[in-house]
A and B are shown apart, each in its own frame.
Chain A
Amino acid sequence: MKISREEYANHGLLGCSPGTIGRYVLLPGDPDRVPMIAELFADAKEVSRTREFCAYSGTLQGEMVSAVSTGMGGPSTAITVQELAHLGAKVLIRVGTSGAMQKFMEATDLVITWGAVRDEYTSQQYLPLSYPAVADLDVTLALSAAATELGFRHYIGITQSKDAFYGEHQPERMPVKHQLKQNWFAWRKAGVLCSEMEAAVLFITAPVFGVKAGGIMVAGPSKQSLQNLLKTAVRAIEILIEQEKGGAS
């Protein structure tokens, strides 16, 4: 049955009704990656498809899990986090692509985000800039354990979250090109691993809405490593579910 966009839109901007979203959610940026992730879930089905948001829910080890696209950038990510928290999500993991910033890295490397540079404005409407955008400890350790277990080369560290994609790729087009280049130099010198657009907003909004957040990216555009990335993230969720079940019994 085809559901109209208007019917989806009855439930917030994401169009997900209560009870359709699991407690563990993977957040890619691109809506087309949501079906790719859903293939790794058991009995996955589409929950919503509207604007840049696409949501699928399925199960992993008997626990309901979801994949929801955030769209690019801070504003749509903040909307996604807020609505998902309202719908009962507890653990949000960003999965996506990024651009490597250090010479020792390769495009196929995975980067686990432990903290993010808040080079964007959305998160400043939630908490002051002095707050660090830092991931949840358990989620990050689970991601690290999953990447080690599957044997993928990965780095753990700080990533940069920016607002303007072309501020990084074509700074000379911008009136503030000197400032952009200066900041870029500063982040690289400070050891920032890669550049992307959503992690800082996710990490700052997470404590505000009482959810745990983590992030894992691939350092360059590579189809094979995107699969590796998704497998790692799914394995991390399985580890977290196992830990929770172990802790409860």
Chain B
Amino acid sequence: MSIGEKLTNKMFKWVVLYPGFRKFVNWIYNDVMKMPQYHIGMAPGQIGPYVLLVDDPQDAEKAATLLDNPQEIAWHREYRTFTGTLGGAKVSVVSVGIGGPSAAIGVHELAAIGGELFLYLGCGLAAAKEVQPGEMLIAKGAVRDEGTGLQYAPLAFPAIADLRLVSCLRDSCLEGSLPYRVGLTRSTDTYYNIYANQYADQADNFPYTLCSDLNTAAVLITASVLGKRAGSLLQAGDRMQPLTMTHIKTGVSALRQFMAVNHVV
């Protein structure tokens, strides 16, 4: 074993065993050397402060067509990133995969390299009986029926969206005269559980919720704990499916409205 390898092994051991040393190494990597983040593979400067989050790498490509000068920056694992501009401000579209664990890693690393506002676009599954398929569901909060958020904040902490962003999302639904509802979504960890017994489960066990989804709670909790803004716009449907253009356009127009009224950076 060469001296270099031995040193690397030693350092890896220290990083694993001593949190203080890990903090120091993280600081050197992220803030001094500006190395790319571990999973998303991007460094500061490669994304904008406004970030659209989607599940599917293919949806990221679709959403990027609405940006000005979109460029594919990176594609590692499920994280595919396009960066472009909207009205002069830098905006990125990132796919974060299905589920809390990958969404939380995505938001955490994006926040570390300059993401300030996260808008998640996803599918609202097993919607409540009064909700029609295709309706826009604006999540002002999420029921934390999932595990990732627990490692960021205790269960008593509310998974809620940014007030201004929720207001902009509602305005953009009104502007596009789309049917919408503002309410709670239930974020869960198991897709086939909700898919199998959708109506009975939603209405009986989760009253006062509009739908179920898999990412919202993790995105909201992670962003909130890291001091960033986040929101979630879902479209009611009966299964995970590609995002519709109307859905993405509504999200983008909400971002434009947010930029016009509130300047994040």
Contact = CB atoms under 8 A, between A and B. Distances in A.
Residue of A137, A141, A187 most packed against chain B (CB within 10 A): A137
B163 A132 contact: no
Nearest to A162: B156
Contact of A132 (B154, B160, B227): B160
A116 B158 contact: yes
Interface string A115-153: 111110000000111111110010011001000000000
Given A119-B156, A137-B170, A191-B227, A132 B208 contact: no
Nearest to A183: B154
Nearest to B145: A130
Nearest to A206: B208
Contact of A186 (B140, B142, B154, B167): B154
B147 to A, nearest CB: 11
B158 A129 contact: no
B160 A190 contact: no
Interface string B151-184: 0111111111001001100100000000000101
B104 to A, nearest CB: 14
B251 interface: no
A105 interface: no
Chain B interface size band reads: 20 to 34
Contacts of A36: none
Contact of A144 (B163, B207, B208): B163
Interface in A172-190: 183, 186-187, 189-190
A116 B224 CA distance: 13
Given A132-B184, A208-B208, A117 B156 contact: yes
B264 interface: no
B158 A191 contact: no
B144 interface: yes
Contacts of B141: 115, 132, 134
B69 to A, nearest CB: 34
Nearest to B164: A156
Contact of B225 (A117, A127, A183, A191): A191
B182 A137 contact: yes
A32 B163 CA distance: 32
Contacts of A133: 158
Nearest to A114: B163
A115 B160 contact: yes
A42 B244 CA distance: 52
* Interface SS majority for chain B: mixed
B144 A130 contact: yes
Contacts of B155: 129-130
Interface in B189-210: 207-208
Contacts of A183: 154
Contacts of B153: 186, 190
A166 B70 CA distance: 55
A45 B63 CA distance: 58
Contacts of A158: 157-158, 160, 224
B208 A118 contact: no
Contacts of A156: 163
B156 A207 contact: no
A137 B167 contact: yes
Contacts of B154: 183, 186
Nearest to A157: B163
Contact of B184 (A116, A131, A141, A208): A131
Interface in B123-156: 140-145, 152-156
A237 to B, nearest CB: 19
A196 to B, nearest CB: 14
Contacts of A189: 225
Given A137-B182, A158-B157, 20 more contacts: A114-B163, A116-B158, A117-B156, A117-B157, A129-B156, A130-B143, A131-B184, A132-B159, A134-B140, A134-B158, A134-B160, A134-B184, A137-B166, A137-B167, A158-B158, A183-B154, A187-B157, A189-B225, A190-B225, A191-B225
Interface of B: 140-145, 152-160, 163, 166-167, 170, 182, 184, 207-208, 224-225, 227
26 contacts: A114-B160, A115-B141, A116-B158, A117-B157, A117-B158, A118-B158, A127-B207, A127-B208, A130-B144, A132-B142, A132-B159, A132-B160, A132-B184, A133-B158, A137-B140, A137-B182, A140-B163, A141-B163, A156-B163, A158-B158, A186-B153, A186-B154, A186-B157, A187-B157, A190-B157, A190-B224
Interface of A: 114-119, 127-134, 137, 140-141, 144, 156, 158, 183, 186-187, 189-191, 207-208
